[in-house]
Amino acid sequence: MLRCGCVASWILAVGLVVGGATQSAWARFQVPPPCKNAFTVQQEQAEGAKYAGEIFKQMPVLPDSSPLSQYVRQVGERLVAVTPGYRWPFNFHVVASDEINAFALPGGAMFVNIGAIRAAETEAQLAGVMAHELSHVVMRHSTCNMTKQQKVGTWAALGQIGAAIALGNGALGSLATQGIGMATGLGFLRMSRDYEKQADLLGASILYDAGYDPRGLPQFFETIQAKYGEGGAQLFSDHPNPGNRMEYIAAEIATFPKRSNPRVTTPEFTQARALAEKEKAYNGKEIAAGGWRKTGQYALLPGGPAQVIPVAASGGNGASQQQSAGAAARLSKDALGLDDRRIFYNGKTFSISYPESWQKGEAQNGSVAFVPVNGASQAGIAYGAIVDGARFQSPVNDANSLTQATTAIAGQLGGQNGGMQAIGAASSMTVNGQMARAVELKGSSPVVATGGAASTERDLLVTVARPDGAVSYIVFVSPEADYSALKPLFTAMAQSFRVR
């Protein structure tokens, strides 16, 4: 059952009488009406998890056991306790980057760079930029941006395999730039000036309600601007100045009831900042080069040392209730639902049967994932099936072109999933009268084997030629150790598949 993703409005308190005395009016920032948003709450959380998985792969994120990570999480917990609206499952991470920046993904994953911790002069300043980021999540700005851009991503927390494959020059072996796989761009995090102003004003209120000196928020921006100038830090490219930022934040803060001894800084902040100064922080070129991966010190790489610790549970179901650990756990045979009654999913372009206990997630582009409970984590899908489609410049309407299309899809899957490789050639089959191909794939599984070692994944790719010349395909996913037990189920699901 989903809770409403709408943000509750705040009350305008004017002339509040307490104990017979009238206090000064506090013109609480009025959270704007929800923006046009194509995402449900569950989809937003899943989308954020997908991008978080990419961040963990592409950036040196400190493990959650790191003292710096623990400190940032403590500050985050203090802020989340007073954050209004829907209870997003916020979690907090530190990136070993020297850029002065912080960002929050849809659904509540926040990343604070070491450069931002070094730049802050007080805990209130660091908490201020974090409160600003929480505000973007509360007001769902990222998915509003995605909706506006009409670049809505997929359900895929967990490893979406992309929509149309475009092949150039009429040759099935030449993939164009739009291929399969998770989008790694984070352009939706670049906020408009209106969104920035909203996050400034709500962030100041969150900061105040958490007991901090709310002036920490404008002070952080002032500190960065004084040191680096406008545009001199990454923060300003992601967080453009709406104009008169310091003035309107100060005017908002002036309406807050006076509080004696607000929280400005703490010994914990002093200690954390000292740790940040000592911690290795990489510049952009070093991060892109990837040498940090070889150290084994960072989060959520295969065998990495982190677990994602959510601050607040959402209360939803589906993807939001899947296990939060970075690596997935191996499931028992009972948990796989092998003996479950099968139910049908009837979509716009296909139908398929799946075990009743499995969860489903639907993408905006029509792809669908089916996953047993706890069959996925932020590291990826460990058990389940993903149904998607591909369209080529030349129609796929004979045996030869379907075989070539299957090879192209398998190759692109391998390129997007750590070098996954096909095992042998594709075999011919029919699926409800439609020409089809099947090929097994082998790669790395997000399931951690005994002793923490990486384990192997065995997948089954089934492609089905559609009457319109496109290809539907299903990727059945399993750890190799469970593949033989799951293969009869996968085969039955494939044979139930009908194109529309």
The pLDDT tens digits for 285-323 are 888 788 888 887 886 543 344 445 555 433 333 333 333
Residue 129 lies in domain? 17-157+183-295
- Has residue 56 got a pLDDT over 60? yes
Q: Say whether both 485 and 442 belong to one domain.
A: yes
Question: Which residue has better confidence, 244 or 174?
Answer: 244
Residue 363: band (very low, low, confident or very high) from pLDDT cuts 50, 70, 90 = low
Span 252-268, mean pLDDT?
93
Residue 207 lies in a domain: yes
**407-438 pLDDT tens trace:** 888 887 775 555 678 888 889 999 988 999 99
**148-159 pLDDT tens trace:** 654 333 223 222
Q: Report which of 483, 500, 499, 480 is spatially closest to residue 491, judged by C-alpha positions.
A: 483
Find out whether 381 and 393 touch, Cβ atoms under 8 Å: no
- Has residue 398 got a pLDDT over 80? yes
Q: Say whether both 285 and 330 belong to one domain.
A: no
Residue 106 lies in a domain: yes
Q: Report which of 396, 299, 346 is spatially closest to residue 52, judged by C-alpha positions.
A: 299
Domain count, the chain: 2
Residue 210 lies in a domain: yes
Residue 163 lies in a domain: no
CATH code of residue 360 = 3.40.1000.10
Residue 315 lies in a domain: no
pLDDT of residue 141: 77
Instruction: For the sheet with 434-448, list strands across it.
Output: 359-362, 368-371, 384-390, 471-479, 454-465, 434-448, 421-431
Q: Say whether both 284 and 338 belong to one domain.
A: no
Neighbours of 227 (CB within 10 A): 11
Strand segments, DSSP code E, in 174-317 are none
Q: Say whether both 216 and 334 belong to one domain.
A: no
Domain boundary among 246, 279, 295: 295
Span 355-368, mean pLDDT?
77
Structural tokens at position 325? 């650990």
Q: Say whether both 289 and 343 belong to one domain.
A: no
pLDDT of residue 37: 77
Span 137-145, mean pLDDT?
79
Residue 300 lies in a domain: no
Backbone angles phi, psi at 460, to 5 degrees: -125, 120
pLDDT of residue 191: 60
Bridge-based pairing state of the strands 109-113 and 91-95: parallel
**160-214 pLDDT tens trace:** 222 222 222 222 222 222 222 222 344 444 566 778 888 889 999 999 999 999 9
Structural tokens at position 472? 């539907």
Q: Say whether both 265 and 402 belong to one domain.
A: no
Total length of the chain: 500
Q: Say whether both 131 and 188 belong to one domain.
A: yes
Beta bridge partners of 439: 461
CA dist., res. 57 & res. 67, Å (int): 21
Q: Say whether both 266 and 351 belong to one domain.
A: no
Q: Say whether both 135 and 47 belong to one domain.
A: yes
- Chain-centroid distance of CA 459 in Å reads 24
Q: Say whether both 286 and 427 belong to one domain.
A: no
Residue 8 lies in a domain: no
Tell me which of 81-85, 235-239, 457-461 is least confident: 235-239
Percent of the residues in the chain that have a pLDDT greater than 70, as a whole number: 71
Q: Report which of 455, 447, 457, 491 is spatially closest to residue 477, judged by C-alpha positions.
A: 457
Angle at which helices 67-80 and 267-278 cross, to 10°? 140
For 419, residues 6+ apart whose C-beta sits below 8 A from its C-beta are 443
